[in-house]
Each structure stands twice: as C-alpha cells, then as structure tokens.
Structure 1
Amino acid sequence: MDECKLLLENLPVKIFYKDEKSIYLFCNESFARYLHIKTGEIAGKTDYDFFPKDIAEEYREYDKEVIRSGQRKDKEWRYWKDGQELIFYTIKLPVKDENGDIIGILGMALDMTERVKLERDTVRSGYLALLGELTAGVAHEINNPITGIINCAQILLNKSSEGSREKNLASRIIKEGDRIANIVSKLISFAQGSDGKEKTLASIHEIVSAILTLAETQLRKDCIKIKLNIPDNLPKILVNFQEIQEVFMNLISNARYALNQKYSKSHRNKILEILAEEITMHEHKFVKTTFYNHGTGIPAYITENGIRAKYLSYGIVNDHGGKLTINSIEGKYTKISIILPAIREVFLLKQNK
C-alpha cells in the first residue's frame, strides 16, 4: 500500500478520486499543489470550492457523462487562471464495485500548457523565418530597380539646366526614390533580424523611427494620428535592436487594432501617443517608453500576467534587464510602458546581480 501511495505521489500527473455525486475523496500531491491545498483537505469538497461556477458546472456535467455512459471519457480543457491560459488533457474513468455498480470516478489530468506553447512557438518561429526570407527577397527585388531609377534621375538632374521642369522632376524622383530605398532597407533589416543575441548601442528615437518607417503608411490609412514626444537628449540603451523592434512593433499593432475596433472611421481620439523619458528606479537610470491609446482597452478578466503572456514579448524585455508595466481600463484606454536600463546603468545592474 505504501508503494502504491509513493507511486501516486511521484507521478507527473494530477490524480483525483470522486464519489458518484462528484464529491472529492482523494487526490495526489500534484493535484493538491495545483489547488493550493494539502492532500488531506480535499475530502468532502466539490469543484465549486476550487473553480469558477461556470467551469465547475462543466466539470460536473463531464462527470455525469462518465456515470451515465459507464465509459472512459477523454477531453482537452482550456481556461484562464491568474491571467494565464491553461491547457489540460483529462481522462475520467468510472470506478465500479464488485457488483458492477458505478461508485465513483477516477480522474487524471496532464498539464499540456508548456508543451502546446512550445509547439506554437516552434510553428511561429518557422513561419516568421519563412516570412522573413520572403520579405527580404521581395525587398531586394524592389531595391534593384529603385537604384537604377535613382541613378537615371541623377543623370537627368546633372544634364538639366537650373530652374528647368526636367531638373525639378529629377529632384523629386531622387527624393522619392531615396525614401523608398530607406523603407526597403528598414524592411530588410527587420525581416532578417540578427544571427545571434548580440547587443548594440541604440537610442529610443532610432528604434521608434525605424518601426514607424514600416508602420506609418498603414496607420495613416486607418486615420490614426501619431503623437511623438521623444527628447533628443535621452541616454542610449544596450539592446538587441531587432528584438526591441519586435516588441515595439507588437505594441503598435495592438494599439492599431484597439483603435480600429473602437473607431471604424476618423475620430479626434484615434491617436497613438509614443512618449519617452529618463527615469530613476532604485537609484539607477532607465529609459521609459510608453505607448498610449484610447482604444478598446484590455478586457478586465485578463490580469497583468495574462497580458504579458498573451499580448507581449515580455521575455525579451526581461532578458534586457527591463520591466513592463500596464495600465488599462476596458473601453477607455491602454497605456503600456517598456522600461530599459540606460547604458551607463547596464554594467552596474549586472554587477549587482
């Protein structure tokens, strides 16, 4: 008996036993930890004691199906807890006495959250890699003829007399050609990313400008106004440029979606504000960049941890020694700040770890 108990306690599966009325009688240590209780505290409890009413009712209906059918039932469950989507694969078996009557339910639950997340990330990484290759290829194809157009326009400019219509047209062609070439260059850089995790000195103004070069046309098309307040004298930060670009692009995309959901057409409040400032935390200097919009806001049932996991590249910010803060009211606004250590503080923070 002790050997069986030892086995149950060490299995990487959540195990529980209920009677025919869905009242818990026993669970192993893994399931108890998940419920934040001790194993001896589960006896006499029901799902209503541990889960929201709607989820508890689903679980009990699932129990009834097992009792009615007398058959094993397998099911994948997805729900939110503490702001994180959890995924469990469950198996429930009817327990019968010596007469064949069902007297309870034996349940097992395997946490699939990390596995599913890893699979998603793998698929996403492969998709992004392919998309990056395609984007870079298209960008290079655009870049070659643009270079030819600029060179031809330069020849026309050199041969045209001062003040002539031809010279004016040539100047405009060169100006617009250079703008396209700049966009293509930024697109190639964003698509290809970096080969490793190396970090370089960069300014917030530089990162935001690179992203807006790619996103500004779409924002303008959606009638979204951009308000920038990024002082020129902010200290630089040590970052993986492409990774922080990804974070900022994600925030801008989320803001665009929220604003379009709330305002289908042009509106005076259809504005995305991007603000940057130097701040001090725990006697260290940081650069704080805030993305502020009056869109739909973030649903109230999703906590800050859930927002980080679901919407943002929080791991990237964390890897840079930074912090992410969220302030949002559903239906009113969302204000998300990325706080990264200033360059003169990076080495001090590393020494203090």
Structure 2
Amino acid sequence: MSISITGTGSYIPSLKITNKDFNNHKFLNLDGSTFNHDNDVIIEKFKAITGIEERRYATKEHKTSNLAFFAAEKAIENAQVDKETLDYIIVAHNFGDLTYGHTQGDTLPSLATRVKHQLQIKNPKCVAYDLIFGCPGWLEGMIQANAFIKSGIATKCLVIGAETLSRVVDDFDRDSMIYSDGAGAAIVEKTEDGGEIIAHDSATFTVDEASYLFFGKTYNKEIDDDNYYIKMFGRKIYEFAVTHVPKAMATCLDESGVNIDEVKKIFIHQANEKMDEAIIKRFYKLYKKDMPEGIMPMSISKLGNSSVATIPTLFDLVKQGKLENQEIKKGDVVIFASVGAGMNVNAMVYRI
C-alpha cells in the first residue's frame, strides 16, 4: 500500500494584470514618504528581483471558495473518483472569502464547508475543515492527509490551496505587485501501485520570526482608511527562507533514503524568483553539488505569488504538460517545499 496523489486540478483566473498596470500607482515607504525613483524604475527593479511580469486576479463575482471549488472539480475529474467517497476536504487559505472591494475575511462557515456545498456532496462523513498555515498551508494539508490515511481513519482526501490576495493589498505599498489569486487541488488516496509520499518535514519558528508577515495599515498617512492589509518585512523573510528551507529539504530527503541525484524536480513555493533560486542552490550546496539545470519549474513570472495556491497550481501545470520545457513521469522523485507566515517551513519527498 502507498499513499498517492491520484489527481490534480488548478484554477487560474482570467483577469491578467501586467506590471504596466502599476505605473499610475503612488508607491510610498513605510513612513509615508515617497520614493526617490519614478514608477518605471521601481517596477523594473521589482521585476529583476521577483521575476514577476504579470499576475492573475479573480473576477469581481468570484471569492476564494469559488476558486477552490473550480480547482476541486478538476482534481476529482482527473482522479476519476466518486466525490461521495471523500473522507476529508482540507482547504488551506489565509484570509477566508473576500468580497471584491472589501478586506474583511469571511470564514463562517468555513471555506471547506462552502466547497463541499458547491460540490453537492451529501455524505456527512466527508469532514470539511480549513487550515491556516501561511503559504505552506497546502503542503501541510497534504502532510495531514497522509497522516489520516496512514493511521487508517481515511482512504481518500481532497486538499486545496486557494487565495484572493489581490483583495488584501495596500495600493500604496510596492509589495502589492507581488500578490495574486488562484487555486490548486489534489486528491490523495491509498493505492496499490501509484505514487508514494516518502517523507516530510515541518517546523514553526516564532521567537523572533512570528510577525515577519502581518496585517497592517496603509502606508498613506494622508487618507482616512481603517482597513488592514497584508504587510511583510521582505529582507527578514529572505534571510529566514534561505537559511531554514534548505535545511528542511535536506532533513526530509535524508529521512527518505533517496539520493539527491535521483531528484528530478523541486516544486517550491513561488514567492520570489531570486529567493527561490538561492534556496535551491543552498540546498544542493549542503550535498556539495551544483544546482542542476531545469530542476526548478517556475510559474511566478506569469502568475505571481498566490500563496497556498502556488505549489499545487505549478504541480498541476507540469503534470498536465502545460509548462514549457518541464515534465514529470511515473517513477520520478520530486520535492515540494514552502515557507511563509508563522513563520512556517515544510517539505515533502514524493515519488510520482
């Protein structure tokens, strides 16, 4: 018996926002002062660091749970399973359902309950719950699903990562260009001859790191705005990530017993292209090796950072052959890794 990903699905919103769409924004520093550079310079530097050229936003009528539902439908169809046989629906997110034009999140009922309702699953033994674990939420949901199945209390789980971060950004904060919307989902179940979750590792750092990502007020001190928006200390996150994520990946790989040369792909949270590359290089350096070419599929340039949705969306795109020059096949060993608010880190070794 093995625990396998038998189906995947993703939903990429249709509304495309390019870097040029930020040219008319008034970007401010934390203290409300203006930058010394024009927006075209700010945006060019932003692209050079993050790799982001464009991102996707949800249309006005869709909320996070809708995006989650769209991805879930595709995963269920891809796995060719009866939705009534699902034991758990786990939805990872950070802000709940957000109505367009508002920053107040709605989590009553839970997003997982809303997805189950939209799927019209009648089975009351299909337990639906939400998971808030920062950007590593979807991967932590996969780890929980693996534990449920391994313990015998479940045979089939649906794990979803969904977010509409475009609705909790401060238009005066240049970091607003990072965030995007989307959803990805996977069916995890007990199989006889499928893939296999081989090992995983998770950690939470909170002594000094708890508030590296937080909810804060707009940088514009001249307007009356009581709303709170997603904020971060980018440099601190970068230093944290390049230190702790490679270690988590190495711990996980060593536990799996798989040789690093067998790893075919690394699906890392699409947070920042330069940061992700630095993480993978440091990971290989731990084994006194160079980072192999093509080992790290990337979607951030076109899709931005959709938090919990980046890894399942990226994995689905590669699995479906929709990412240029990237493919995976049965028997390949891949690593999933993420870092985010909390500060949380996790990794998983999986054989396709």
Give the TM-score normalised by structure 1.
0.25
Q: Which one scores higher on RCO, CA 8 angstroms, separation ≥ 6?
A: 2
Structure with the higher fraction of residues in helix conformation: 1
Greater Rg by CA = 1
